[in-house]
Amino acid sequence: MDQPLLAHRGCRSRRPLRPPGIPPELLHRQVRPLLRRRRGRRRAPLQGGRRERRRAECDRRGPHPRPPPSRLPAAEVLRRPRRHPGAHRRADLHDREHRRRVLLARQLHRDGSLVLVLAPVDERYAGAPLPRPARRRRAQDRGDLAAVDYQLHDFSFRGLSSPESAAASGAGHLLSFKGSDSLGTIDYVRRFYKGDNGIVLQSVPATEHSVMTAGTPERGDETDMFRSIISLYPSGIVSVVSDTYDLWAVLTKVLPELHDEIVTRDGKLVIRPDSGDPADILCGTAIQKNLPADKGVVELLWDEFGGTVNEQGYKVLDPHIGAIYGDSITVERAKDIVERLAAKGFASTNVVFGVGSFTYQYVTRDTFGSAIKATWVLRSGEGHPMRKDPVTDNGSKRSARGRLAVLVGDRGELTLHENVDAATEAQSLLQPVWADGEFIEYQSFRNVRDRLAEQAASLAARTETVAA
């Protein structure tokens, strides 16, 4: 039942005459005296004792510090509040609240800086091993090494804790790759990296299961849905999730019916399975030879569309067709897939991997021993080395000591030198870019990518030399 409303003088809002929970018989004892007291305070003048005390307090604190009204613009004079006898108490509360917010902001700035640094670094290291099997395999099958930049596609956005964490994680991913669906990373990179960042990320049109189920009757034929997607995107790469109902029916019935439309299209149609064991789905089970699942996705696509054989004898699918798998991809599974494809005679360029939140979220700073520690302090004008070394620890938490320098070793590897002098520290590859709340040097995202690519190429060259 609606409450009757009362609009009283001096208040723009309308309040219920009887608030919920107050019996009517108590209304005259609780609500109406309260309204009378409020009106009485507004109308009745201050009594002598209270008024004199407030005036004395105002005289003791002095006048309100502001310029004479004649020196202020008219609009500024109207905006300035009148001095109230209790304003000093509100000012004290405001000062305490301001100090509390400043301390909180400093803590968030400090801890948030660690999050901004450690999270992308951990995600980068989590995904860094994934291209290595592809690079090694492509060195053998002479595939396109530039395609490794798109060998791993970031699908982790929806599984992470927030858009901010997805953007930071996506930035770490993009240090090694260029394919991503975490579009918020573009704003993240533009905010924290000034200058020419180049192409931050690239993506392609792709369907999801809700699109396929909306355009296809339940357990019905998906041919018309595939045909409409091909006509909607007449050129470029388009990825279509293909296991909504029956993956093997798509590979053995739908695609053969659309063969001519696919091979004459100006672009690549990418088939995306999304359930089951990734290695068995892509490479086949090889248990029997009379079921589509025994051959796997890549071999079935080869049987229908064919392709070429490179100089090393590995099969490469027709450029109008391809495959991507983006469910439960880990380093071990990626390595298993490229090795099983090679055993069947297929190049690793035939498959792209989509990495999700399982790989990028189940990573902490302890996974790779990531930490930021103070190792040197200037005290009373004299430098002192510092080190964390708990006696209750097994040595894993022992930090570096003194001035540090990261230098290139004799074989091109990066080495950490502790307790160095200022001259050696100045030659370190690690140089400050931010200090005392200000940036000393800005660097673009492209600079970081190029530096990482150089180090990765140097590491790959040393690995091949050792293996030879």
On the question of pLDDT at 251 being above 60, the answer is: yes
Exposure on the CB side of residue 20, measured as CA atoms within 13 A: 2
- Cβ(427)–Cβ(407) under 8 Å? yes
Four-CA torsion 64, 66, 69, 74, nearest 10 degrees? -110
Kind and range of the H or E run holding 331: helix 331-343
**pLDDT at residue 227 in the model:** 95
d(CA 360, CA 181): 14
**pLDDT (tens digit per residue) in 42-75:** 444 545 566 677 777 766 666 555 544 444 444 4
User: How much is the pLDDT for 74?
Assistant: 45
Own/partner long-range contacts of 244-247 (Cβ < 8 Å, ≥24 apart):
244/209, 244/212, 244/213, 244/216, 245/216, 245/218, 245/219, 245/220, 247/273, 247/281, 247/297
The predicted-structure confidence for 268-294, as pLDDT tens digits, reads as follows 999 999 999 999 999 999 777 789 999
Q: Does residue 19 carry a pLDDT above 60? A: no
- Mean residue pLDDT of the chain comes to 77
Q: In this structure, are residues 431 and 439 in contact, taking their beta carbons and an 8 Å threshold?
A: no
**Mean local confidence (pLDDT), 182-195:** 90
- Single-letter code of the amino acid located at 248: W
User: pLDDT digits over 94-123, tens only?
Assistant: 566 656 555 555 544 444 444 445 455 555
Burial of 158 (0-12, 13-18, 19+ CB in 10 A): exposed
Block residue for tokens 């310029």: 67
The predicted model gives 18-23 an average pLDDT of 52
Strand partners, 15: 6
Position 288: which residue type? Q
Residue type, 158: R
Question: What is the predicted pLDDT for the residue at 3?
Answer: 43
> Which is higher by pLDDT, 94 or 338?
338
User: Tokens at residue 377, please?
Assistant: 């302090």
Containing 180, the helix (H) or strand (E) segment is: strand 179-180
Tell me the Cα Rg of the chain: 34
Q: How confident is the model at residue 303 (pLDDT cuts 50, 70, 90)?
A: very high
Q: Does the structure show a pLDDT above 50 at 7?
A: no
Task: Give yes or no for residue 126 having a pLDDT over 80.
Answer: no
Choice among 192-196, 263-267, 334-338 with the minimum mean pLDDT: 192-196
Type and span of the H or E element at 316: strand 315-317
pLDDT band at 165 (very low <50, low <70, confident <90, very high): confident
CA gap 258, 116 in Å, rounded: 47
pLDDT higher than 60, residue 136? no
Answer for the pair 164, 191: CB distance below 8 angstroms, yes or no.
no
- Among residues 261, 347, 244, 252, the alpha carbon closest in space to that of 296 is found at 252
Is the pLDDT at 204 greater than 90? The verdict is yes
Nearest residue to 301 via CA among 240, 245, 210, 356: 240
Percent of the chain with pLDDT over 70: 69
Average pLDDT of span 312-316:
92
Winning range, highest mean pLDDT, from 162-166, 181-185, 261-265, 456-460: 261-265
